[in-house]
Amino acid sequence: MNQDIYVVIEHLRGQAADISYIMLGGARALAQKTGGEVVAVLLGHNVQSLVNNMSADKVLVVDHPALAEFTSDAYQKTLAGLIAEKEPRAVLFASSSIGADLSGVLSARLNLPLISSCQRFSADGRPISQICGGKIMVESDLPEVTTLLTMIPGGYKPEEGQSGKTPEIIKMDAPALDDLRVTLKQYIEAEAGDVDISKEPILVSVGRGIQTQDNLELAEELAKALGGVVSASRPVVDQGWMPTSRLVGKSGKTVKPKVYLTLGISGAPEHAEAIMGSEMIIAINTDPAAPIFDIARYGAVIDMFDLFEVLIAKVKETQGIR
Ligand SMILES: Cc1cc2nc3c(=O)[nH]c(=O)nc-3n(C[C@H](O)[C@H](O)[C@H](O)COP(=O)(O)OP(=O)(O)OC[C@H]3O[C@@H](n4cnc5c(N)ncnc54)[C@H](O)[C@@H]3O)c2cc1C
């Protein structure tokens, strides 16, 4: 085993996901402790341009048509051979449907330990991860064998995994990928016509405290005055009051707006983990003990229905709108 930290780059439609850069930031912190290098692992077809701003010492590129889109079968086969051959100290996967699929199967297949939901590494390189849906953080040893980890956002910023320099590129051969049991038949685009909340700079996010679907109009009016859009926690989406495309959280989207204004959201771990990249979280909640106040920069213990009219009027006044 060597002391290098490998990062399996997640990408879709020609773009590396933010979590890939977050993992590279985490890998750098860990590699400084293990004394190894940060090695990005890029599987795909014609994706070499993605390496340009990665903060890695090396990038292992495996280029093959069967790797053009993620399939568990092709990715597992490729990574199983690569990890067994290289024996890095740790391999980081995104805590996503792709990362969960790969890390779980590879852990069983290669008989390697797996630490899931790792958020960051301590000053001495110990993984700090979430258990019980984020209610408890655990600091553990990094086992003395190649260890697989899935990483969640919140510990490192994407910029920490980016650099102006192009890393050394090493091309690797793909294994035989002609007997795959799973192949991609069709790529289905996400619902068209709605906004992409992961790219919006201002989000007014409503939770169960909004009480009824009709009350959403107030949030819409506030969002419009602020130049933002409305997003929601899971109970609001589960009720069918807002489309899934507006869901923030573990089962929805990770967001990183300049302003994330929450109205009647308690701040459960499954919601909180997806908003940690926000520049400013502002919380409105009637319960002073709501966990959302632990992560908000500004907060007010107030009934949102006492706030809407005054706040909308104030925002419009500031902007000279009547
Ligand atoms: C596997 C799994 C995945 C999940 N994925 C997600 C996910 O993607 N996104 C997500 O959001 N949740 C997710 N959840 C659910 C999560 O655990 C919480 O149940 C959910 O986030 C709670 O939503 P909430 O804060 O809107 O509701 P609650 O927790 O019920 O909080 C409502 C809040 O509103 C406040 N309030 C009530 N009335 C008012 C008022 N008039 N003015 C101001 N404040 C008021 C209350 O004090 C309370 O804090 C997931 C759970 C699991 C197990």
68 CB-contact burial (10 Å; exposed 0-12 / middle 13-18 / buried 19+) = middle
CA of 264 to the centre of ligand 1 (A): 8
- As for ligand 1, residues whose beta carbon falls within 6 Å of it are 133, 207-209, 233-235, 247-252, 264-266, 268, 270-271, 284-287, 290, 303-305
- pLDDT of 187 reads 79
Distance 234 CA to ligand 1 centre (A): 7
**pLDDT at site 208:** 97
Q: Which CATH superfamily is domain 5-172 in?
A: HUPs (3.40.50.620)
pTM value is 0.76
Residue span(s) of the chain under CATH 3.40.50.1220 come to: 197-318
Instruction: Please state which CATH number belongs to domain 197-318.
Output: 3.40.50.1220
Q: For a pocket test of ligand 1, which of 233, 301, 302 has the largest count of ligand atoms closer than 8 A to its C-beta?
A: 233
User: For position 194, what pLDDT does the model report?
Assistant: 77
Residue ranges, the chain, pLDDT below 50: none
Spatial separation of the C-alpha atoms in residues 206 and 247, rounded to whole Å: 10
Q: Can you give the pLDDT at residue 13?
A: 84
